[in-house]
Structure 1
Amino acid sequence: MDIRQSSRSADSADELVGGPFAVIESDPGVFTTLLHKLGVRGLEVTEIYDIEPWATDHLNPHGLIFCYMCSNTEETNTGEIEDEDAERVWFANQLSDDACASHALLNVLLNCPHVDLGEELRELQVATAEMSPVMRGLGVSGSRFIRDAHNSLASRKGPPAKKRKTTASPSKADNDDHLQEQYHFIGYVPAHGKVWELDGLQHTAIEVGELDSEPGSGPSTKGWMNVVRPALRMKMHVYMASESDHVRYNLLAIVDEKYLCASDELEMRKRERQALERRLQEAYPEGWADKVSDVLLASAAEAFTTSLRPSTEGLPFAADFGARKMDRDLEILDMAVRKLPEAWNACVEAALAAKVVVEEEIAKARETQTDHIKRTFDYEPFITQFIMCMHDEGLLEAAMSRGTIKDDDAQEPVVKTPAKRAGRRRRRRDV
């Protein structure tokens, strides 16, 4: 871990916490990109628009991140709370401004035992296992790897400037300039038989409720959404839109990556098809094409091909892929001949469905990458050079005068400017 120690007493606190964190958007694509930059495999972030079972249960989320707009006057709980169960939860306090997005994400991920965290986060988890929430917060804030991954998603290129805190109230004239939407992120995760609320500004993890136990296997995380749902309803009620004209919160879910699942499904169908066609060839040496669906036979040439992978076998992602393939091969070897054509039809149909999901995920990934480039690319040098070139060619004044009109009284060209919006656009900031 990169925790910098300072020899100067004036800046010792800032140096100990580490460099500044930038503001990032509460967008599922941004969080998914952050997961990948942190080295986490097999997961993505999606937005949930309803917390009812029909909207969440099919997702099987590993954890949730609740983003809400808060005010400067909200208080945090800094009192000592004795909770032995909370001590088993990996929880880090937020010690850096605007780092709440990464803190909420890490507080959830490092409590998910079956998630592939990657080398860097696994080392952080092991190194901070016996530390207090404050020391874990120092480990997160002082990690250059985490900070660089976080800041790479900021809307402006380059490291953010250090901010100096002040308790002075802005004057009335400066109210518009200081009017900011302050957003905060908190996590929810099932761990150690309970559901926990993980707010980096609180002293410790907060228990939401207990999980149901299964006979012989202890607490299960399958129904954890039923436990967290009442707490989410309360949060949403508190932060519902009031005087503003927009929703003041959104909910993100950390789920298994759909592309990996769909890609493995398609790869499994490729191998299943080969095994079935070998059996069909043995059972019908004179030809088996007339035994299967004509429509599916015509579609089979394209059903197993995607824009990224050919119809030949590719590398799977799941660790248990080989074991599942062997089980399926044994099923096909024991299958009755009369059932082989039906199984081949079902295989092609499943491949077509998997291909649709794969292509949708590829398109979504391309769109996310495009948005990331648009958000983080620094256009200022290009714009500056473009204006300089227009000036050198004598085109700048002509371009600026295109939107001018004549004032009859002053006989001077008056540049038309758009009317100012009522009120300044409020800036968004994480706390």
Structure 2
Amino acid sequence: MSSSNKVGESTRVKSDISPCAAPEIRRIVEQKENWGGWATTLNDATIFEYIMRQVGCESVAVRELYSMEEGYLREEKSCFGIIFLMPYNEHYETQAGEELTSLPAGMWYSNQIADNACASYALLNILMNLNDVPLGTQLEGFREFTLGLLPPHRGQAVDGFKSIKNAHNSFCFRYEIEEADLILYEEALGDSDPKSELKPKDSHRRKRAKFNEAEVAHDQADQIDGPHHYIAYVQVGGCLWELDGLKQTPFKVGDCNNENFAVRVGSRMRELTARCSDLSIDFGIFALEPAKAPQLEKQHQANAREIGAIERKLQGTDPRSSLRTEELLSGLLILPPLDTDDFGQQDRMTTEQLVELRANLIQKQKEIEMEKDKLFNEESRKALELARNRHDYEPFILTMATMVWEQQQAEAKTGKTKKKGRKGR
């Protein structure tokens, strides 16, 4: 489960020391890394991407979707999978679907063993089923290691996957760690208390019936500020599967293909949200799709090799049509073709056609470079946003609040003293 709404002496740090080397910040980082639990996660696409990047997955991006309507999702043709965030209440428990007695061949599915970790479990339940997508050494090694395990044992392996747990907990605050530990302590204390099993359930039901209106208001508030849960949707074997780590097995929603995958997921999400109150702003939808940066770089390299092939061809037939010195010095990337490249169509082209093709490729290169610059700026903005979200401002706020309170107390005391002095005169 995860929540969707999360919104002394001074230490002088030398300018040549990284902020992370400051003792206070370093202690907070070490506390997160050494903590055995999982914190709740913001429903933010950049955080999902950050978790993937920390475990070496560069080929997948996450983008937030803003509607579950068919007309909107019909345009989503390249989704690897979809993560859906919904309130965790009594409506969640009444899900329909075809429950399996065993997993289909080739499907990777993990039960959620740890509390508050549903975001990372949902993410892995999609990534581990992408057999044709490069995931990086860590994730591919983890998939190979867990391939022969049962879903509960895979869940335990995820709980022990330190890299992804550290990335997941990067955005938690110290008070969240303390609250999570306190909840576990109270649950353990309650399980060990024999009196907790003797509480009459009928009187509890009567109280709920008596305060029905208050319960309705509480239910609506709970859907906004209460616990939430991430569910994964992925296509395996020509079927749409709902991979919910809290369920014993996946649910087969129905047949689907690449063209209607997002539409079928939207239909399923509308079915689930229809059971809740009309608070659609409280749901989150995130699509996993191919990352743009590797695709742009791949196309940029391919164009550079084709330009190199054209240059080699022109130098052998008409050297006067080769690129001029100023064009070569303008930063244009030219690479020799690989043995696997096939530019056989150039053999049938005239010099004029080759020059025109080269000009078109150069223009494409400029457009790709502009797109790469735009993407770099966007990634820089995300990195700054992530850095701000990761920083724990609690110590600063507590220190400032304490200083303000002490200042107010000092001013109040000084004011009373002066007032008494004037009265004595």
Measured in 1, the distance between the counterparts of 2:72 and 2:240 equals 20
1:353 aligns with 2:398: no
Residue 149 (structure 2) aligns with: 131
Deviations 1:50-69 (A, max 9, x none): 56477565651221111222
TM-score by length of 2: 0.67
Residue 28 (structure 1) aligns with: 45
Measured in 2, the distance between the counterparts of 1:21 and 1:182 equals 14
1:280–1:288 contact (8 Å) kept in structure 2: yes
Residue 420 (structure 1) aligns with: none
Deviation of 1:136 (Å): 1.6
1:195 aligns with 2:240: yes
Deviations 1:20-48 (A, max 9, x none): 21111122111111111122231111123
| Structure with the higher fraction of residues in helix conformation | 2
Measured in 2, the distance between the counterparts of 1:58 and 1:185 equals 20
- Which residue identity does 1:248 align to in structure 2? D
Percent of pairs with identical residues: 24
Deviation of 1:94 (Å): 1.0
Select 1:117's aligned residue among 132, 135, 148. Answer: 135
Residue 337 (structure 1) aligns with: 351
Measured in 1, the distance between the counterparts of 2:145 and 2:321 equals 63
Residue 297 (structure 2) aligns with: 263
Deviations 1:197-256 (A, max 9, x none): 101111101112235xxxxxxxxxxx3352562352242254269766651222211111
- Which residue identity does 2:288 align to in structure 1? I
Deviations 1:398-420 (A, max 9, x none): 9x99xxxxxxxxxxxxxxxxxxx
Greater relative contact order (Cα 8 A, min sep 6): structure 1 or 2? 2
1:40 aligns with 2:57: yes
Deviation of 1:362 (Å): 0.9
Q: Which runs of 5+ in 2 are unaligned?
A: 1-34, 191-195, 197-203, 413-425
Aligned residues: 347
SS of 2:39's equivalent in the other structure is coil
Cα RMSD, aligned residues only: 4.3
Residue 375 (structure 1) aligns with: 389
- Which residue identity does 1:106 align to in structure 2? L
Measured in 2, the distance between the counterparts of 1:99 and 1:86 equals 25
Select 1:149's aligned residue among 144, 147, 167. Answer: 167
2:73–2:263 contact (8 Å) kept in structure 1: no
1:157–1:377 contact (8 Å) kept in structure 2: no
Matches within 5 A, 1:3-402: 19-50=36-67, 52=70, 59-71=77-89, 74-75=92-93, 81-86=99-104, 88-154=106-172, 161-162=180-181, 163-164=183-184, 180-211=225-256, 223-227=257-261, 229-239=263-273, 247-286=281-320, 304=332, 311=333, 322=338, 326-328=341-343, 330-333=344-347, 335-382=349-396
- For residues 370 and 334 of structure 1, do their structure 2 counterparts lie closer, same or farther at Cα, with a shift above 3 Å needed? same
2:99–2:251 contact (8 Å) kept in structure 1: no
SS of 1:40's equivalent in the other structure is coil
Measured in 2, the distance between the counterparts of 1:64 and 1:79 equals 18
Measured in 1, the distance between the counterparts of 2:304 and 2:107 equals 42
